[in-house]
Structure 1
Amino acid sequence: MISIRNLVRRFAAGGESVAVLKGVDLDIHRGEMVAIVGQSGSGKSTLMNILGCLDRASEGTYLFDGRDVSKFDADELAALRREHFGFIFQRYQLLPDLNALENVEVPAVYAGADATARRKRSTELLTRLGLGERLHHRPNALSGGQQQRVSVARALMNGGEVILADEPTGALDSHSGKELMALLKELHADGHTIIIVTHDAKIAEQCQRVIEIADGSIVDDRYIGERDTASNRVEKVRRKPGWRMGIDRMGEALAMALRAMGAHKLRTFLTMLGIIIGIASVVAVVALGQGSQQSVLENISSIGTNTINVYPGSGFGDMRSGRVRTLKPTDADALAGQPYADSVSPQVSSQATVRYRNTASNASITGVGEDYFQVNGRSFSSGSGFTETSVTTRAQEAVLDQNAASAIFTNGENPIGQVIMLGKVPVRVIGVVANQSGFGPGGNSANVYMPYTAVMDRILGQSYLSSVAVRISDDYDMDTAEAEITELLTRLHGGTQDFFLQNTDTIRTTIQSTSQTLTLLISTIAVISLVVGGIGVMNIMLVSVSERTKEIGIRMAVGARRGDILRQFLIEAVLVCFVGGAAGVGLSFALGQGLSVLVSGARLVYSTESIVLAIVSASLIGIVFGFMPARSASRLDPVEALARE
């Protein structure tokens, strides 16, 4: 079954190479019960580690069932341990976070055994070994003898064709030691090949064959009992199909990760903290940016979402614009007749003192056409607007906004029908419009509207306009309309473009772009904090690998592949980041609520896309920054990991 020839194992020590095993030749037959004895430092434990595929020889050949083990890679060695070997360690080497049943099941998990079948088998094994009442106890609630029996059950879980016992009675009292040896003899009688490493001659005498090793070489190999190599077929637990095996291993890795997180709650929380802060910042900033953008866009909508304003001059910074007087009411009439114009309103502006009885207030006077309130989407809270007759007859009528009405009629009197003085011009109030949004100039001032003809003749004494507002039909393209307005007015002005246009859709686009840029900038800062949190996760996971090295060694000894170890630690990192991301989203909602209470007018709009993206980003952070610690864990040498305290 096992055949080794000229086996040499060297270790580096102080810059030199020390040979612990020196040209060992050994054959072990199926069904034998063998004791390997020798003094401390003789190389017997090293030989057992090589036999159990926990360690590799420096030179020589090792054949198991005719296969050259020296040519196996890490996963093939793991398969050999998983399928053919069972380990009983001196210090039991049980996983402290798992109960007796779960410890016994670990080899079957890595073998892809059916969950129901492995639970049934582990229960049967523990019951057979006298632990039927202790199935759900963790190792710290079991005596030394009971822990060793759990270790034996684990060795038998996948069949345990070859049982390797390293000083199995060394940590037991004499009574428990005798019970264990009786159990090993019983397993030998059942057909298991038993290899015991011991320095106790009394233990060795109970075996069929004793191999003595000294200074790295076999000095004696003798049979002291009947040479019986008969072997019965050992029982193996039923396996799942390949794809179900992978799902089961993934589920077990998830369960292991949850246990590890639960066992170190404070450390897990502190690890998550950077992710929580980063995700909360990202989601809250994006929500605040979207809320602010919506508020601004709603304000733009209140002054007309598809309007184009025509102004004299070459732009808002043109010092000569006040002297350009070519914008006439006839221009507004020409624009009103175009197919793209839904409504048009000429405009002139002035300032005046408004008086009513003993009350006076400064106000902005705006001369407008009858379509002004439609162009700008203004709604009336009382009264009505101007008619075409009001414009043509230069009617001394006025419409107030709510600011002006409150400033002038301080006693709460109904403004409709009252006569007020605009400077020296008496006008009758015919309507009150709701306040315009604070967006834009004059949004929070007192505003009085009159027919533009009345303002031009009775207040300003001028024949030119300050601007013309054109509302574009909903089914007409804004850019096309802007080009046609430019072409029409240039032609009307004798080929001179002494005007410029302001497209509210352009304002909307600019504000959206600016808002998105600012959101991106602040989000980038938040993402940096998320990356810092990811680095924290990586550091803590590296510490976790260092702390759990022995656990990794135990898992590898019972058959875990490198991929299994990598998967477990990577899932743990992703889980930490995922839960941290979810908590960060919750914190962002709490921040939004607090901000809405503390800051008047603050508005946060949460989108499903940003929340999903934030959690996905957190999970990706877990993958990226968890990979290095997970890979480090999977690359550990099993025998070195088991020796780590």
Structure 2
Amino acid sequence: MTISQSPKPSSEDSSESSTAQNLGSHTTANPSNSSDNLSNPAKTNTANHPASGKPIMELSGIIREFPAGEQTIRVLHDINLTIHQGEMVAIIGQSGSGKSTLMNILGCLDQATAGDYKIYGQSARKLDADQLAELRREHFGFIFQRYHLLGDISAKDNVAVPAVYAGMDTEARTNRAEKLLTDLGLGNKVNNRPNQLSGGQQQRVSVARALMNGGDVILADEPTGALDSKSGEDVMAILHDLSAQGHTIIMVTHDPKLAAQAERVIELKDGHVIADYQTEHYKHTDKKPESILGEHRKSAFGSFIDRLLEAFKMSLLAMRAHKMRTLLTMLGIIIGIAAVVSIVGLGQGSQQQILANISSLGTNTITVNDGYPRGDPRRRYNDDNLTPEDAEAVGNQPYIISVSPQVNASSSVRYRNIQEDATVNGVGEDYLNVTGETLTLGQGFDAKSITLRSQDIIIDDNAKQTFFSDIDNPVGEVILVGSVPGRVIGVLEESDGGFGPSVTTPTIYMPYTTVMSRVTGSTNIDRFVALLDDSISSSAAETAISDLIESRHGKDDFELRNSDSIRQTIESTTGTMTLLISSVAVISLIVGGIGVMNIMLVSVTERTNEIGVRMAVGARQSDIMQQFLIEAVLVCILGGLIGIGLAFAIGELINSVGGDNFKVIYSSTSIIAAFVCSTLIGVVFGFLPARNAAKLDPVEALSRD
């Protein structure tokens, strides 16, 4: 076996790198020092031991430096090593000698500052983060001194984590995890969590995890350092058994007795290799560990779904483990979503109420008023231009459903000893159909009423309260309108007054022909209201009516009012107000998103060790990012759902208190938009913490508690 090494520097010139030496037989750079550290008789008599297997790791001139303020500290000095397939190697040295740093470089957890490290013939410097992760999960298995198990999942799931990232079939990895634990004497502990296991049992779980994907190379950092003597002996027996199976074992220890059990010892001091020799346990073997992944590997898509489910499961466990933090994280989202949905519901409820008021004045109608349009100087000269024939001409158009001429007058009305001034409206037979008003008692006018100029009367609720307050049903009673007697045939339903102030003046309705002939003595009408076919554009109908009347009069001595334009104005106004108020609610969503980001950043800091463990067992950067993104999205989705539920509760409260005049009407669009918005907040504001987690240095992450 030929191994180049850097001899221990002299006290006079410790910074100079020493020349490589050929150790065809056992040689140490400082035999006197080495003999004090290891009580192994084979260390000075290992000549002509052949190297086992083929070289799988080659280190050439490896230097590792770390920043320390404005200076750098060199931890490893010009390390030159070759490690072969099937060797059991112990790296020994005092604390601070650089042995853990060397193991991290060998395990692709860390990168050298200078020099070249080849693993299976590939230079580690030329591999990106995901390729290094592939090496870790496909070929390496790590056994840590502090176990580094994931506390929220069972022993079996801990063992199976590397196989999840490697894409092993679900059933195969479950069976293998259980078998490994059973072989290690933990068959009855597979569903226990780490805190339910002793130190020795946790280390066995760590060993099983290292072997999950095959573990060609097992890297053990002080594998017995935290164990009692019996558990330590058990772990070493396991390592010897693995070595016999063809696994390459690289063990870091400061215990010379433990190192003496290895086949080869590499001794470090102050970052230099001061000894590299074979022990009496050395044996040549060409045996290789069995291949595990090939026959059980899933498709790329199946592997992706597996990793997604693993991330989803870990996100749920993290949320459950920190319930209060999760709730506080959600709070901003809950308030924002509830505000958006409630405000939109209030806006829609208000809009519907206003539109209902419009409907009480006439649904999809056009009113033609007598007199010149507003702004016309001729407006003060009202020549009584509209006639019943104009209304009839418009009513004959195919896009008109019905027309009601109207004549207004004021008159003194008397019933028995009650006399009050009232408004008298002369209307057509289709008045109720045109305006959308309804009767609570009696009946309306018919064609015969118009033709015969009947003295029938319909009264509104104000007139009923004024003249018939002590009579439940005034139908059939006779009242005197001016000097014209009339019989009550109907009573209108109470109106809330529409848009303007509440009207208390009694209103009397009679056929317009009766009012014209018996009350006003006029041959002209004040206006007529036309009900449009809903399939016709109201603007087109308005233009057609205007053209028709103008052609009949030869001038535009009339004014049109389109109820649909009022509707559109109201809808536009309420929509603008809803949007304005909703934008304020959206700001609370953004604030909530920033809260999610801050809490997730804290979560990354708290779970840095878990991230390091996942990276060590082969998680890609995308796997780490995916896990934290899913957690952020889940928090926001759950917050969104709670917010929607809160909005419904608020709406029900408002509806129960507001009665018929004040309603919250929920919009499915706003609910879906709020849900999508909460998801996007999770993605957008969870990205930075997720990226920070994915970019963590594995060694630094593992070193944090």
| 177-186 or 600-609, which deviates more | 600-609
Q: Distance in 2 between matches of 1:558 and 1:586?
A: 41
Q: Is the 8 A contact 1:345 1:369 kept in 2?
A: yes
1:494 aligned onto 2:554: yes
Q: Distance in 1 between matches of 2:114 and 2:565?
A: 78
Q: Residues 139 and 362 of structure 1: is their aligned pair in 2 closer, same or farther, counting only changes over 3 Å? A: farther
Q: Distance in 2 between matches of 1:137 and 1:362?
A: 91
| 177-186 or 31-40, which deviates more | 177-186
Q: Distance in 2 between matches of 1:316 and 1:593?
A: 45
1:69 aligned onto 2:127: no
1:203 aligned onto 2:258: yes
Secondary structure at 2:223 match in 1: coil
1:383 aligned onto 2:439: no
1:306 aligned onto 2:364: yes
Q: Residues 547 and 315 of structure 1: is their aligned pair in 2 closer, same or farther, counting only changes over 3 Å? A: farther
Match of 2:107 in 1: 52
Q: Distance in 2 between matches of 1:44 and 1:352?
A: 111
Of residues 429, 433, 441, the one that matches 1:370 is 429
1:227 aligned onto 2:282: yes
Of residues 631, 639, 644, the one that matches 2:691 is 631
1:244 aligned onto 2:302: yes
Q: Distance in 2 between matches of 1:616 and 1:587?
A: 17
How big is the shift at 1:64? 1.1
Q: Distance in 2 between matches of 1:644 and 1:319?
A: 87
Q: Residues 229 and 303 of structure 1: is their aligned pair in 2 closer, same or farther, counting only changes over 3 Å? A: farther
1:128 aligned onto 2:188: no
Q: Is the 8 A contact 2:399 2:541 kept in 1?
A: yes
Match of 1:3 in 2: 58
1:158-197 equivalences under 5 Å are 158-197=213-252
Q: Distance in 2 between matches of 1:449 and 1:145?
A: 98
Q: Distance in 1 between matches of 2:288 and 2:386?
A: 111
How big is the shift at 1:97? 0.9
How big is the shift at 1:440? 4.4
Secondary structure at 2:601 match in 1: helix
| 374-383 or 579-588, which deviates more | 374-383
Q: Is the 8 A contact 1:311 1:500 kept in 2?
A: yes
How big is the shift at 1:332? 2.4
1:21 aligned onto 2:68: no
Letter in 2 for 1:481: A
Q: Residues 340 and 84 of structure 1: is their aligned pair in 2 closer, same or farther, counting only changes over 3 Å? A: closer
Match of 1:95 in 2: 150
Q: Distance in 2 between matches of 1:16 and 1:512?
A: 69
How big is the shift at 1:462? 4.4
Secondary structure at 2:214 match in 1: coil
Q: Distance in 1 between matches of 2:484 and 2:124?
A: 109
Match of 1:621 in 2: 681
Match of 2:672 in 1: 612
1:310-349 equivalences under 5 Å are 310-315=368-373, 321=379, 323-329=381-387, 330-349=389-408
Gaps of 5+ in 1: none
1:584 aligned onto 2:646: no
Please give the TM-score of this superposition, normalised by the length of structure 1.
Answer: 0.95
Cα displacement string for residues 470-514 of structure 1 (whole angstroms, at most 9, x for unaligned residues): 12244544223211221222233332x232211112122222222
Letter in 2 for 1:73: D
Cα displacement string for residues 394-438 of structure 1 (whole angstroms, at most 9, x for unaligned residues): 433211123432432112342122111335543221222333464
Cα displacement string for residues 261-316 of structure 1 (whole angstroms, at most 9, x for unaligned residues): 00001110111111111111111222222233233333333433221101234556
Q: Residues 219 and 328 of structure 1: is their aligned pair in 2 closer, same or farther, counting only changes over 3 Å? A: same
How big is the shift at 1:95? 0.9
Match of 1:350 in 2: 409
Secondary structure at 1:604 match in 2: coil
Match of 2:13 in 1: none
Q: Residues 208 and 338 of structure 1: is their aligned pair in 2 closer, same or farther, counting only changes over 3 Å? A: closer
Gaps of 5+ in 2: 1-55
Q: Residues 4 and 475 of structure 1: is their aligned pair in 2 closer, same or farther, counting only changes over 3 Å? A: closer
Secondary structure at 1:599 match in 2: helix
Of residues 494, 516, 528, the one that matches 1:468 is 528
1:117 aligned onto 2:200: no
Match of 2:48 in 1: none
Q: Is the 8 A contact 2:371 2:383 kept in 1?
A: no
Match of 1:484 in 2: 544
Q: Is the 8 A contact 1:30 1:229 kept in 2?
A: no
Letter in 2 for 1:640: E
Of residues 86, 91, 115, the one that matches 1:31 is 86
Match of 1:280 in 2: 338
1:212 aligned onto 2:267: yes
Q: Distance in 2 between matches of 1:498 and 1:577?
A: 62
Q: Distance in 2 between matches of 1:349 and 1:172?
A: 104
Q: Distance in 2 between matches of 1:475 and 1:625?
A: 48
How big is the shift at 1:631? 0.5
| 222-231 or 50-59, which deviates more | 222-231
Q: Is the 8 A contact 2:266 2:277 kept in 1?
A: yes
1:565 aligned onto 2:620: no
Q: Distance in 2 between matches of 1:549 and 1:128?
A: 31
How big is the shift at 1:444? 5.5
1:43 aligned onto 2:98: yes
How big is the shift at 1:584? 1.1
Question: Identity rate of aligned residues, in percent?
Answer: 55
Of residues 489, 509, 512, the one that matches 1:452 is 512
Q: Distance in 2 between matches of 1:383 and 1:318?
A: 43
Q: Distance in 1 between matches of 2:157 and 2:533?
A: 73
| 334-343 or 365-374, which deviates more | 334-343
Which consecutive aligned stretches of 4+ in structure 1 deviate over 6 angstroms post-superposition? 316-320
Q: Distance in 1 between matches of 2:377 and 2:502?
A: 24
Q: Is the 8 A contact 2:76 2:98 kept in 1?
A: yes
Of residues 516, 527, 551, the one that matches 2:575 is 516
Q: Residues 465 and 63 of structure 1: is their aligned pair in 2 closer, same or farther, counting only changes over 3 Å? A: same
Letter in 2 for 1:429: V
Secondary structure at 2:406 match in 1: strand
Q: Is the 8 A contact 2:159 2:209 kept in 1?
A: yes
How big is the shift at 1:80? 0.4
Of residues 486, 491, 499, the one that matches 1:432 is 491
Q: Is the 8 A contact 2:363 2:434 kept in 1?
A: no
Q: Distance in 1 between matches of 2:618 and 2:141?
A: 9
Cα displacement string for residues 107-161 of structure 1 (whole angstroms, at most 9, x for unaligned residues): 1111111111111111111111111122121111211111111111111111111
Secondary structure at 1:20 match in 2: strand
Q: Distance in 2 between matches of 1:125 and 1:248?
A: 21
Q: How many residues align?
A: 644
Letter in 2 for 1:553: G
Cα displacement string for residues 27-51 of structure 1 (whole angstroms, at most 9, x for unaligned residues): 1111111111111111111100000
How big is the shift at 1:457? 4.6
Match of 1:259 in 2: 317
Q: Is the 8 A contact 2:373 2:557 kept in 1?
A: no
How big is the shift at 1:180? 1.3
Q: Distance in 2 between matches of 1:343 and 1:106?
A: 77
Q: Distance in 2 between matches of 1:632 and 1:403?
A: 72
How big is the shift at 1:371? 2.6
Match of 1:85 in 2: 140
Q: Is the 8 A contact 1:302 1:437 kept in 2?
A: no
How big is the shift at 1:340? 3.4
Q: Is the 8 A contact 2:372 2:382 kept in 1?
A: no
Q: Is the 8 A contact 2:143 2:203 kept in 1?
A: yes
| 316-325 or 230-239, which deviates more | 316-325
Q: Residues 131 and 401 of structure 1: is their aligned pair in 2 closer, same or farther, counting only changes over 3 Å? A: same
